[in-house]
Structure 1
Amino acid sequence: MVAKHIKSLLYDHDCVIIPEFGGLITRYVSAKINPVKHSFAPPSKKIAFNEKLVLNDGLLISTIAYQNNISKEEAQQLVTSFVQQAKTTLHAENRFELQEIGVFRYNPEHKLEFEYVEGENLLDASFGLPELVARPVRVEEPAVLRTLIKERQQEHAKEKQPLRKRLKRAYNVAAGLALAGLTGSALYFLSLQADYNLSSLNPIMLVNASYTSSNTGDITRYASGYVPVTGEERVATYAAILPQEATAVVLEQQQPALEEQTFLTADSASASLVFMPEEQQNEEVKEEVVVPVKEVKPAEPVLTINEKSGRSYIIIGGYSTTENAAVRRDAARTAGHDSKMLTPGPNSKLYRVSVADFATADEAKAVLNNYKKSFGETIWVLNY
């Protein structure tokens, strides 16, 4: 059971420490080509072992306790039993296999060595990518070769057209351009003549003109029985209906009213321009003085702790490289946490990533359970 949890932790962490036994460290391996097998392998992780990393960082024990819903004391007992069994097997058989990870042996100097066994790809970015095998091109494919040769021959035939065909094509293009130019020039010169209308060339206009000329003769004729009224009869009829004296009186009464209205309109316009308060006329326009405001740049956040600060940090993971730790730190800061990266101390080689820091360890432990909801049971407090 412990071996299964160790393998699952190697997917997400660069270092998994087995207390009192050693630490398994992963490193990135780029994609590679096998010239013998003609295969392409995706990027992956390789695992190495360091028997000096025996200090318990709480990662393995906390994971086992959380996944199996047991206490940390029981999880620690399981890990201790696993380590004792591994050491007993090594002393008896000089070989201990960690399933799907690697094999441990003692060398002649009685130092523990580790041999990685390639199995599942532990790199999350390459999950599900198989090893691709390139099939060599076979010469025994005449159908494909005939098709390629035929296409190339057609391309060469198009490129090497006879000179007569090319001249004929150029002649047709030049003749079309010349005909279009002559037509345009003829229309232009016809438009310059004053007594010639280009619209007469439109057949629809000719039909409309003939139809209009045939129907305009009956428009000016009077109906049968109509007698036109002369001008003298029209004046006499108006004089009988409205006498001239009444018309003159009405015009004289309306004239003063029109003049008064015009005069008032002009006076009101001039009054709006002339009568202005003296205070407003003498008021001076004061220019506003713009005071430049100095921009205050916000203080840049502290992202890396390079020396001991005496504060307590809530650690969410440890990484063997600066790049992996920086990626984890930036992801936590994007989620809204004050995440920082702690450089390795004198007895450590891991870059640790925190999500919060406090003045004392008691303050950090008081809020530790709140962060476990987001980062799991493997987080712990470090006095740095």
Structure 2
Amino acid sequence: MQLDTYISDLLYRYECVTIPELGSFLTQTVSATINETTNAFFPPKKVLSFNEQIQKNDGLLAHYIADVDKIPFEVANKKIAKLVAALKDNLSDGKTVNFKNIGDLDFNTEGKITFEPSYQLNYLTDAFGLSQFESPAVTRELYKEEAERIEKVIPITVTSEKRKSRPYLKYAAIAVVALTLGGLVASNFYVNQIETHNQLAQQEAEKQLDTKIQQATFNLNPLPAITLNVSKQTGNFHIVAGAFRVEENCDTTVAQLKADGFSARKIGTNKYGLHQVVYASFETRAEARKALQNIKTSHNKDAWLLVKKLD
């Protein structure tokens, strides 16, 4: 029995998954971020950590294993204890303990457990279908100095006497007015150019974002179809096939899955406005877990289990 799969399943739904007598994997949700140097956008995610101090058995892992494998709770606890003993032996021998899609555990020089996350999976279900992407920087040119220079232009006052004795002042005044008007026209022209550039850059960034989301939401491999015997479409355990920004693509996917023998349907949109499609819904976690393993093996390795009560 491998603990990786069970722990990975639980990390999607819980903030703390404890391995008795070893420690606990913890998750913390962080918001979407932008790298100002590379212009890379990162979706929201759950950050993993490990706390060696939290070792008390809360029963969560054992209950889940017992439910999935159809074994008594006491037997599940004994299997966990046996695996933990083997893991501790490996750590004591200086070996690295790897939990697939979670991270690596090691002993440091002080005999304490250190953890290095793998970052291969995003355990935040609300961010499903979102991936990292880069967008060109939007360049803005400021004409503050030019605007200040125009605002500080001082009107020239010329009396009739001076106009007669100094005719060149008339031409100087005309030149100042001409230069001011020319500066205003040029300034407006450049400002309009900048606004047009910024608008095009923003549209391109939004286009790339929509494209990335649409491409990352659903990918069916051309593998042989399997048939699931689902008696009814109720329950809180749903096997998600994908999520789409365009509802027409959602309807096409449902029709395709139904043609392949699945009881596919739409279950509404998530918080990002993406339309979700499921292979089927189940009353118990054990039924959903069994069907999910079959689908990942034979149809779509990116399918995942959503636990949600539908309205």
**TM-score, normalising length from structure 2?**
0.43
- Greater C-alpha Rg: 1
Greater share of helix residues, 1 or 2? 1
